[in-house]
Amino acid sequence: MSTENSHIRSEEFDLEEIYGAESGWVEARSTCDHLPSLCADLLHIPPPDTPCSRCEHPSENWLCLSCKEVLCSRFVNKHMLSHHQETGHSLALSFSDLSVWCFSCEAYLDVQLIRELHPVYEVAHLLKFGERPPFRNLEILQLSSSDVEGSSKS
């Protein structure tokens, strides 16, 4: 029996290691002070296969959400990072995974929660996958205590 218990213990995992900082998990922000810098027309954007405008690298590219320039990531030649440093443009959308990063906040933004990002996310998703994105249902049901009590009696 002791070998069985030790076997079970060896299979236990530390959830912090699985879901915490070591796994690369990040919590996207639901607000950002830099949203007013979004380009007025984000319904007309370059396709996701657009190469970096500076080095022509074909992948790992980001779309600046202020001026719509396409530049490569910090894992290629860091042109989007340089663009932020040169222009102060903070917000960019990754053509790889359609995430949005704020360089000034140094954080990912939750495109599902931030309504100002919905149009550009939807267009990018449509261009990349040929279909509209499935948005999470963000409505929260508010139940009174009498509703909860009534449902438990049935």
3-state helix, strand, coil in the chain (%, to 5): 35, 10, 55
Tell me the two tokens of residue 101: 């990063």
Long-range contacts of 98-106 (CB under 8 A, 24+ apart): 98/124, 98/125, 98/128, 98/133, 99/28, 100/65, 101/62, 102/29, 102/32, 102/34, 104/33, 104/34, 105/29, 105/32, 105/33, 105/34
Residue pLDDT, tens place only, 68-84: 999 999 999 999 999 99
- In order of 28, 29, 69, 112, 154, the CA distances from 64 in angstroms are 18, 18, 5, 19, 54
Mean pLDDT over each residue of the chain, to the nearest integer: 82
Mean pLDDT calculated for residue range 144-149 = 43
Asked whether residue 146 carries a pLDDT value surpassing 50, the answer given is no
Asked whether residue 150 carries a pLDDT value surpassing 50, the answer given is no
Whole-prediction pTM? 0.74
> Can you give the residue ranges of every domain in the chain?
32-131
Could you tell me which residue, 48 or 135, shows the higher pLDDT?
48
Mean pLDDT calculated for residue range 139-148 = 43
Residue pLDDT, tens place only, 100-139: 999 999 999 999 999 999 999 999 999 999 999 987 765 4
In CATH terms, the fold of domain 32-131 is Herpes Virus-1 (3.30.40)
Return d(Cα 127, Cα 125) in angstroms, integer: 5
